[in-house]
Amino acid sequence: MQLSKYVKRTLKAILFVAVFFVMMFVLDAMFEMDEASTEAMLTRYSNTEDIDMVFVGNSAGEMVDDELYSKITGDDAFNMCTPSQGLSVSFKNLQLASSHHKIKKAVLLLTFDVADTESYDGIDHLYDRVVDSSSPFYVRIVNIIKRDVKRSFARDMIGSEKSVNIWIPWENETMHGFDNVKKNLTKRFSRMMRGDRLGSGIAFDLNHEVYDRNPGRWTDEDAAMFEEDAAAIDELPLPEGMLGADKMELLADMCTFCRDNYIDFAVVVTPHRTDYYDRYDEYRANVQTLSGYLDAFVSKRGFMYYNTEDDAKLHTTLPDAYFYDWEHVSDEYKPQATEYLAGVITDLMK
Amino acid sequence: MAFYSVAFFGFVLLFIILHDLVGEISPKNQWIVRLLAGLSFFVFLSGVRIVFVLVSALSVWDGARIIHKYDLKNKEMRKREGLSKDEKKAIKEKGQRAKRTYLLSIAGFNLLLLILVKYYLPVANHPIALPIGISFYTLMAVSYIVDVYGSKYEPEGNFVKVLLYLCWFPQLIQGPINRFDTVKDDLFSHHRLHAPDMRYAFYLFLFGAVKKYAIADLLAPIVNAALNNDSAAYPGSFALFGALMFAVQQYADFSGGIDMSIAVSLLFGVKMNENFRQPYFSTSLAQFWRRWHMTLGSWMRDYVFYPFVTLKPIADLNKAVSKRFGNHAGRSLIGGISNILVFALVGLWHGPEKHFLFWGLYNGIIIAASDALSPAFSKINTLLHIDPDGKGMYVFRIVRTFLIITFAGFFDVIGPVSVGIKCFINTAFHFMPSVGAGMIAQLFADGVTSVPAVVTAAVATVILIINSVSKERGRSPREYVCAQKFYVRWIICFSLIMILLYSFTVSSGIRGFMYAAF
């Protein structure tokens, strides 16, 4: 009698947990995946076989049509730029591509406003899923638990609500409106039916260490060099959110990574409208000075820097009418922007 | 440390296991685990500032014992043979004076400590991080020594038991302000965890979390957008909308947090004092204050209001006014002055800023005025043939009280008092509903809030209202849920969990408890 009571209770507990999980996954399917543009880029990336050159950067960098670029230059280029891509994510993209392909060239398509310094949780989540997606189910589950335990128990996380929510499968997903629920469900369902998983084409021989922010190749010499440069940049009054010492450290890391992996690296300030610098108001002159610092910073590390503003032909080749705002090229003029950048980058990297 | 966090869940789980284990091995000493939990929690959140609570506990523990000794000694002296009535009276008075002096110095010391860290140091530009729960445990410490002084109960002989009373961890974040006599039996006795208690605590915690995260945190951006230093320029309709949202937000935030605290405390067998009794169903502002933050209200009543009205000069004034203008006038005057004093203190308890004092005075003056004018209101009712006990009047009173409380939000939230007053004026004379509606629509366009966030908050608020109406009618929704078949319970439980979890995805940011800042 007593035993059957315990059995009943245990079964109930198991059923409770099972129902809870089913509900979680149904809800997960109802949500839009976080960073849909990153997901789309990674899916396209996983279906691209030959890549020897990558573009990283934010939405301004989306002006490069990589197929057209490859045709023009003969490189196997892939554009990994996505909206609001911070330098940490750009670095992650570079590392990801480098772990799968023999990357010979990398270009950071830069605007002076770089959204973030710290890696955004949701992006980590997405990358982790890419890394895991072709592993056996049990490996994926173990990895998810390992990662979530690490994040949940992190010193800055453990006392916050986020430490619990990390365990929710749709923690990093959003629902922009109830109208999208049906669309999201259909999308996930059809993907499941096709057996199409995110990143399924990637060869997963990744060494997880490659995802560390600092891969251990940062030498004393680099540090000394960085200190000096960072101090100079930090003293320059700049608008909030612009490249500062903390972000420059990431750029230095990228340079070190490229040097150690024999990747030819260039930083190119993307084409923009004639009134681009007006947006910086009283900081206008400082932003232009920053460009000079950046040049020195990158050149000192043996790589190339180019600000398209320095090109006298920029605004005649890509007139203001091609842009829908200060720095974003309209879709119909992307071929012209690609051709222009192909010329600039080929000259820069020869 | 948030209640809804791995750290807090882990902390509670660890101490529940320890609590049960010690309860089995040595039931008498189970309270020591509660003490350890309280001290660990304090140290975890306030580190070395635990000294503050140790000093408070030591002062009131020792002070209460000395006061009690005075009492005993005094009684013994009066029992001696051969003393005349006058001599006995003189001994009694002398003892009373000594006791009072001691009481005032100990209570004053604790209050001064609070004033120093909470008011003086920040104003003097030397702010220090407040020890957790100082606004709450200081009042508890004072209540303990005053109650011993008033011979309500005997002093506790064991210092660490008084310490446990003051630093019982679920009450540290935002109260309630427990009384020693109401929690001591639970705090110091053995308790075995039972499944129904756990179930009840789980639902209470879950419901509290839904209130906090799915209502309060989702409404917070709207309140911040509508009630701020620029609000003087907003139309009255928009400011009133903000104040209405604030009324819901504040209740959900505070009562949600209290539900979570009470639930956690229940797991250790400690039933803490009730802090809310459906305050928005109050028919007058005075009644509202007997239903909202009840433990603060009753503290003010017992330790400020009553002692104040029984002061000799006040009693004399009462007599004089009553004699000349009638009993109602005397009672209203004294009651009014006392209420204004009490609410000014309640306002200051929230913080040293002027708007809190103004907010307190607003409440005190309205209560005082409504009491003074009550005969006039009765006459108007008679003249207009209004049944004061009718349903219509009941609903009218509830709505009127809710609006008075809502208007108080202008002074509670907005820093500059002048802006709060302007909002008040705008609500009366520059309502401009169409402009206000446009500004509300703009909140969505600007991304301040979103349709899913508002819908989630609305659904959770409807659940809160159903819960409150049931309780107001004398039913306990949580007990009702707990008594249902398991699948019904599960449906309710999963629905609440989903609302809670979904609220995080549409939330623009998680905020700490409002009252934790006080």
Whether residues B288 and B414 share a domain: the answer is: yes
Interchain proximity B505–A160, CB inside 8 Å:
no
Selected residue with higher pLDDT from A30 and B177:
B177
Would you state the pLDDT for residue A195?
Answer: 47
pLDDT digits (tens, 9 = 90+) for A57-72: 988 899 999 999 999 9
Alpha helical stretches, state H, chain A? 2-30, 36-46, 66-73, 87-100, 121-132, 137-152, 162-165, 180-194, 220-234, 245-260, 284-300, 314-317, 334-349
pLDDT tens digits, B260-307: 999 999 999 999 998 999 999 999 999 999 999 999 999 999 999 999
* Residue B239, min C-alpha distance to chain A (Å): 27
DSSP code string of B186-212: HHHS-----HHHHHHHHHHHHHHHIII
Task: Say if residue B145 is in the same domain as residue B283.
Answer: no
Q: Are residues B255 and B159 in the same domain?
A: no
Tell me which chain A residue has its CA closest to the CA of residue B489.
Answer: A16
Mean pLDDT estimate for chain A: 77
Contact A64, A109 (CB under 8 A): yes
CB B271 within 8 A of CB B435: no
The confidence score (pLDDT) of residue B218 equals: 94
**B462 in a structural domain:** yes
Selection from B180, B200, B181, B195 nearest residue B265 by Cα: B200
Contact of A304 with A267, CB cutoff 8 Å: yes
The rounded distance, in Å, linking the Cα atoms of B95 and A18 is: 69
Same domain assignment for residues B256 and B373: yes
What are A171-180's pLDDT values in tens digits? 655 555 566 6
DSSP for A226-276 reads HHHHHHHHHTS---TTB--HHHHHHHHHHHHHHHHTT-EEEEEEPP--TTG
Q: Are residues B174 and B271 in the same domain?
A: no
Percentage of chain B beyond pLDDT 90 is 56
Facing residue for B7 by CB, picked from A19, A163, A175: A163
Residues of chain B contacting A, Cβ within 8 Å: 1-2, 4-9, 213, 450-452, 455, 486, 490, 494, 497-498, 501-502, 504-506, 510
Give phi and psi for A18, each to the nearest 5.
-60, -45
- Strands A105-110 and A77-79 turn out to be unpaired
CATH number of A48-120+213-348: 3.40.50.1110
Min Cα separation B223/chain A (Å): 22
> B385 an active-site residue?
no
CB < 8 Å to A160, chain B: 2, 5, 510
Residue appearing with tokens 């440390």 = B1
Asked if residue B324 is part of any domain, the answer here is: yes
Interface check for A34 against chain B (CB to CB < 8 A): the answer is: no
State chain A's maximal CA–CA distance in angstroms. 90
d(CA A162, CA A152): 8
Contact criterion met (CB below 8 Å) for B447 and B225: no
pLDDT of residue A132: 65
Compute φ and ψ for A305, nearest 5 degrees. Answer: -135, 140
Mean pLDDT of A283-303: 84
Question: Which residue among B130, B158, B193 closes a domain?
Answer: B193
Could you tell me the strand order of the sheet in which A105-110 lies?
A77-79, A53-57, A105-110, A264-269, A304-307
Instruction: Among B175, B193, B211, identify where a domain stops.
Output: B193
- Please indicate whether, in this complex, the C-beta atoms of B452 and A178 are within 8 angstroms of each other: yes
What is d(CA B240, CA B245) in angstroms, rounded to the nearest whole number? 9
Residue among B1, B5, B505 minimizing CB distance to A173: B505
Q: Is the pLDDT of residue B235 over 80?
A: yes
* A159-168, A315-324, B486-495, range with the lowest pLDDT: A159-168
Dist CA A108 CA A270 (whole Å): 9
Instruction: Nearest chain A residue to B453 by CA: give it.
Output: A177
Are the C-beta atoms of A255 and A218 separated by less than 8 Å? no
CA atoms of A321 and A329, how far apart (whole Å): 9
Which among B6, B455, B494 is the nearest to A164, CB-wise? Answer: B6
Q: Which among B2, B8, B490 has the least Cβ separation from residue A16? A: B490
Query: To the nearest whole number, what is the mean pLDDT of chain B?
Result: 90
CB-based contact A266:A295 (threshold 8 Å): no
User: What pairs with residue A56 in β-bridges?
Assistant: A108
The whole-number pLDDT of residue A210 equals: 34
**Cα separation of B123 and B110, whole Å?**
19
Looking at the complex, does the CB of residue A274 fall below 8 Å from at least one CB of chain B? no
Contacts of B501 in chain A (CB under 8 A): 27, 165, 168
The tokens 């103004």 sit on which residue? B358
Q: How many CA atoms lie within 13 A of B236 on its CB side?
A: 13
Q: Confidence class of residue B212 from pLDDT cuts 50, 70 and 90? A: very high
How many beta carbons lie within 10 A of that of residue B104, not counting itself?
11
Contact B239, B268 (CB under 8 A): no
- The answer to whether residues B215 and B66 belong to one domain is no
Average the pLDDT over A107-125 and give the result. Answer: 68
Whole-model pTM? 0.76
- Asked whether residue B21 falls in the same domain as residue B41, the answer is yes
Residues of chain A with Cβ-Cβ distance to B216 below 8 Å are: none
A146 band by pLDDT with thresholds 50, 70 and 90 = confident
- What ranges in B432-482 are assigned the alpha helix state H? 433-445, 451-472, 477-482
Would you say residue A328 has pLDDT above 50? yes
Q: What is the pLDDT of residue A336?
A: 93
DSSP notation for A10-23: HHHHHHHHHHHHHH
What is the CB neighbour count within 10 angstroms for residue B105? 12
Q: Based on the domain organization, do B173 and B216 belong to the same domain?
A: no
Rounded CA separation A207/A95 (Å): 11
Catalytic one of B350, B355, B385, B430: B350
Based on the fold, state whether residues B48 and B18 are members of the same structural domain.
Answer: yes
User: Same structural domain for residues B369 and B429?
Assistant: yes
**Is the pLDDT at B507 greater than 50, yes or no?**
yes
Give mean pLDDT, residues B436-454: 88
| Helices B180-188 and B159-167: angle between axes, nearest 10 degrees | 110
Residue B74 is assigned to a structural domain of this protein: yes
Please identify which residue in the block is written with the tokens 């006014």: B321
**Amino acid type, B481:** V
- Measured in angstroms, the CA of B246 and the nearest CA of chain A are apart by 23
Interface test with A, best of B505, B507, B513 (most A CBs within 10 A): B505
Distance separating alpha carbons of residues A222 and A239, to the nearest angstrom: 27
Instruction: Give residue B343's pLDDT.
Output: 92
Backbone CA torsion sign across A340, A342, A346, A348: positive
Tens digits of per-residue pLDDT, B145-190?
999 998 899 999 999 999 999 999 999 988 899 999 999 999 999 9
Output the pLDDT for position A83. Answer: 81
How many folded domains does chain B comprise?
2
Q: Which of B4, B451, B504 sits opposite A177 (nearest CB)?
A: B451
pLDDT digits (tens, 9 = 90+) for B385-401: 888 888 888 999 999 99
Can you read off the two tokens belonging to residue B164? 């446990």
Which ipTM was obtained for this model?
Answer: 0.79
In a domain, B101, yes or no: yes
Residue that the structure tokens 């309630």 belong to: B176
Query: Rounded to whole angstroms, how far apart are CA atoms B169 and B175?
Result: 10
Q: Does pLDDT of A205 surpass 50?
A: no
Contacts of A142 (CB under 8 A, 6+ apart): none
| Cα A70 from Cα A63, distance rounded (Å) | 14
Question: Domain spans of chain A?
Answer: 5-37+124-211, 48-120+213-348
Residue range B188-202, pLDDT digits in tens: 999 988 888 888 899
Taking an 8 Å cut-off on Cβ atoms, the answer to whether A175 and B501 are in contact is no
**CB A273, CB A309: distance < 8 Å:** no
Q: E-assigned strands of A1-73?
A: 53-57
| Domain-terminating residue out of B164, B193, B222 | B193
Task: Give the C-alpha separation, A179 to B370, whole Å.
Answer: 51
Q: How far apart are the first and last CA of chain A?
A: 84
- Is A108 in a helix, a strand, or coil? strand
**Contact present, A80 and A97 (Cβ < 8 Å):** yes
From B513's Cα to the closest Cα of chain A, the distance in A is: 12
Task: Evaluate whether A241 touches A115 at the Cβ level (below 8 Å).
Answer: yes
Q: Are residues B92 and B214 in the same domain?
A: no
Question: In which domain, by residue range, is B56 found?
Answer: 6-193
Residue-wise pLDDT for A267-283, tens only, equals 999 998 888 877 777 77
**Distance from the A197 Cα atom to the nearest Cα atom in chain B, whole angstroms:** 24
Q: In this structure, are B29 and B131 located in the same domain? A: yes
Give, in degrees to the nearest 5, the angle at Cα B168 between B164 and B169: 140
